[in-house]
Structures are given as structure tokens and as C-alpha cells.
Structure 1
């Protein structure tokens, strides 16, 4: 069983189902409204836990009702929340998500307490990081805290996985030097490398540029086409499982968490882990909401 520590965000998601995305200056009616637990970090933690990982979390919530609700939900997933700080005078992070009839989403985030995660918080949980197989982070919490977390990880032989989302055009060099694997989607890969990723050939070009930045293992998810990997001289586009998508929210997060549950620290079984992650994501996109859509291991194993 892999032990994974997530450094990341925790949000309360407000979801709207719409026929199509709203245009500037336009008012439209939503078909459905509901709330769910979210945040890229929390989504990835839930995906890892449901896929069989021993999962810990480092992050922050506000001293409010949504914060208490998010903590309770993470505890229900048997995630170690001892690294989550409750911040006074700040609200828990929130995301406002519109999902159209094609299953595509548009997301606006208010960071709230997520931006209070700091280097001190990370250092106080250094033993948690040091005892992990993988440390995973995104860009919904301060980068300096992530850098410190990855420093501690590397000092203790722990592998680091960076999901560079939301996209950042210029990722700090010191963070990239500490990143063992980078896992953007096609849009994020383009923001970082300037390569418009649409297929295996363009993904290969983007991966080459990511290698030039110092990252040895690259995975680029390309929506319904699958996931491209390039590591140690081996590369391949692993096809996605063909399903009818109704909501792509948390699909990428599910991929990351599920992959980490199966991946070996030397990445030697990367293709196998990607297939497992693709299966997990194929289930997520057939359901609404972020964390409510994330499957359990027994469901993933049944996907053919």
C-alpha cells in the first residue's frame, strides 16, 4: 500500500448545470444547483484514499461551517487530517462551477484559507512527508510552501509529483528541480511550453520541453484521447476508455490520485498505473460533482 501526502487545496464547490456556457453580459437559467466537496488537493487525496492509498493531507480551512464540513468528509475517507490548519478570520476556499450539456466545465475559485498554507505548516509536518512514498502538490496553494515540501521529500528519498494546475506560465526553477514527475493536462502543458497539444506528436514535443526544464517523468492528459507519458526513453499515448461524459470536474484529480495508488516509486510500472488511472477517470466523468464522482478501487477494477 502506497503512502501519499497531498499538499493542496480544500474547497466547497457550488455547482450549476447549464445548457451552455454564459456569454459576457448575458443572463441564463441553470437547470440544477448543488454543493459538493472539492479543491484539487482534496480531490486528489480522496481519489488516492478510495484507490487504496494510506493518505495524509497538508492544507488549511477557515474557521467556519464549510471548513468543519470539509474536515468531516475527509475524515470519513480515513484521510489523516492532522496537517490541516484551521484559520481564523478567513473563509474556507470556494469554487463556482458551471457544467454544460457536453460535460465541459468552467470554474472560478476563491482561494480563501488555501492561501494561508505556509512554510511553517510544511515544516511542522516534515515527519509526515519523510515517511511517504509520494508527495503530490498543485498550484491552488502558495508555491513557496510546495517548494519546502518538495525539499523535505527529496532530502528523505520521497518522490514528488507536481500537477501544475491552475496553469502557471513560468514555474519557479527551484520547484522544477525538485519535481520527479509533472502531470499537466493539454491546456496546462501549452501554457508552460507554448506547444498546442492535440495528439501524440504534439504531446511528445511538449514533453521534450518539460524535460528541458529538468523534469525526468512527464505525463500529459489529453482529455478523451488518453494520457501521454515520456520517461526514461519510453513514451506512449495510453488511450482513454470511451464513455459518455456528463461532467469532467475532478477527472484530472482522480487520474492523479488513482495513479499514485498503484505507481512504484521508481516509476517502473508507469504504463500500468496510467491504465488504472484512466479507468478511474472514465468513471468520474460519468457522474456529477467533484468528490461525489470519484470511484472506489473495487469499481475501478471492474472497468473493462
Structure 2
């Protein structure tokens, strides 16, 4: 049976600038190539979940512009319900990605319509949230909207997953309504004050987040893998699949969307879901772009089943 997932998040048009390396202050650097693709953490996570066969509803905002039409078309192509995407007077969100030859990237974001949505979008989406197994959000939309969504989800007995990116202080009211938090090592450090470099420091950071009232924690560590810990004390570092990365842009988002598509609402299969999500992410980083790189369920399972 497929999970029903609602994603509250960002919709961005990505402009990808391929460069040998980051320029130094005052330096002019020649670009190797330029491309445009759909993106935004919310869109990436929603499409990842949809391509892993979840039934996905999106809550967010776009502008009344060609970029907005492009993003709505991309969501519809993957069968995502867009009835709760508001068309606003602000411009559609955009991201400018500096992609280095190493595969690492640096990103500058214009929030636009993503930052203009109001809490009314949550009330309008109540029936879709109520019908969901999971509600997923990031921090590329206003905090008060996320807080309202998670409060409603808790009232409706819908499990909540927060990807705290970009990292910022989490409201105490929001913490008590988070069932699973998924930061990377940088975000985990900003949230806990603990520099995350290995399994021991992952455990310390996870303990601190659990002490704050968050039941389950996954800290993604890039090439090292993903560390998880539950409120019951179950914990493990699940190694990543070793591949040659070409573009890491949507790696974390692919992981989260794939994970939520496999996860049971009891969180009893957390390790199995992490392995599936890690494989999906490993496929994404071997391709260029955000949305174009996100794999489909058949591809992921074929790779998992191959020796």
C-alpha cells in the first residue's frame, strides 16, 4: 500500500551555473555551462516521494509568472495534487546554484512566493492533511505556517517530518509536534551546538534533540551515511552507498522523499527506509540537476536487488 504524503514547502526555478571552483573575492571566473531546471526543497522532496509511488499533495505558493507555470507543470507531470498551491503577486522562488567540478555546490535563494504564503493555506488544506499518513516540511516557507501545519497534523494524528533547512532556531511549540527531524551535520550542529563529525557526536546531537521533545532523529552525513536514533534508544550509523558524485544538489531532498515513501507510521522500519532512501540519493548524485536527477521506485529497487 502506498503512503499518502502532504509536503509543505518551496517551489523554485533553479539556475545552475557550472564552474571549476568557487571564485575568490574580487575574482572573475569563466563559467563552463548554464542550465535551468525545476527545484526548491519542497518540490524536490514531493517529487522524490511521488516517484517512489506515494500519493502526494503539495502546499505552497508560486507567482503569476512563467516560472510559476513551469513549476506547477512539473508537479502535475509526477501526479502531485496542486490544489493547495496558491498563486500570489510575489515572483516565483528562484535558486542560483554554483556547481563546482568536484560535485559540491553553493546555493543562493530568492524566496519570493515561498515566503509570502499565509497560515490560511493550512486551513484550506485541512482535508488533504487529514487524509495523509505524513506531513513533511522544511524551512524555505514561513515558520508560522509550518508551526500551524504541524499543530493541525498532531490534532489529526498525522505523523510529521521536519527537514530543518536552512537551519534556524525551532520554536518550542513546533518541537513538541515533530515526530521525526532530519538535519544534515551542519544543521544538527546549529540546532544543538555539537560539532557533528562521527558516530559519537551524532549520538550526542541526537540525544540533545530527543531531550528537547523530538521523538526520532536522522542525521544525514553525506558520504558517511545516515545516523538514526529513536526515543526508545535504538540507534545506528547506516553507511552510504559508494558512488562518484557529479551533482549533489538534490541529494538530501531525494533521501527525504524516498524515505517517507517507505516509512511506516509506527517508525518501526526506520532502518529499512533509510537504506532505500540512501540508494535513491546515491542514484540522484550521479546525474545533473535537481528534479531531473530524482530516480523512480523501479530504478531504486532494481539497484538494491542487484549484486
TM-score (norm 1): 0.98
State the match for 2:128 in structure 1: 128
Distance 2:155 2:210 in 1: 22
State the match for 2:138 in structure 1: 138
Distance 2:92 2:27 in 1: 29
Q: Does residue 38 of structure 2 align to residue 37 of structure 1?
A: yes
The Cα offsets for residues 203-230 of structure 1, whole Å up to 9 and x where unpaired, read as 1111011112110100000000100000
SS at match of 2:15: strand
Distance 1:227 1:27 in 2: 37
Comparing 265-274 with 112-121, greater Cα deviation is found at: 112-121
* CA shift for structure 1 position 261: 0.4
Comparing 128-137 with 19-28, greater Cα deviation is found at: 19-28
State the match for 1:299 in structure 2: 299
Alignment RMSD, CA only? 0.7
Distance 1:211 1:55 in 2: 28
State the match for 2:96 in structure 1: 96
Distance 1:233 1:195 in 2: 19
Distance 1:43 1:77 in 2: 11
Distance 1:272 1:290 in 2: 24
Q: Which runs of 4+ in 1 moved over 3 A?
A: none
Alignment of 1:86-235 (within 5 A): 86-88=87-89, 90-168=90-168, 170-231=169-230, 232-235=232-235
State the match for 1:50 in structure 2: 51
* CA shift for structure 1 position 152: 1.1
State the match for 1:289 in structure 2: 289
Distance 1:113 1:210 in 2: 31
State the match for 2:83 in structure 1: 82
Distance 2:298 2:275 in 1: 15
SS at match of 1:209: helix
Aligned pair count reads 302
SS at match of 1:58: strand
Distance 1:22 1:156 in 2: 49
Q: Structure 2: where are the runs of 5+ without partners?
A: none
SS at match of 2:302: coil
Q: Does residue 267 of structure 2 align to residue 267 of structure 1?
A: yes
State the match for 2:257 in structure 1: 257
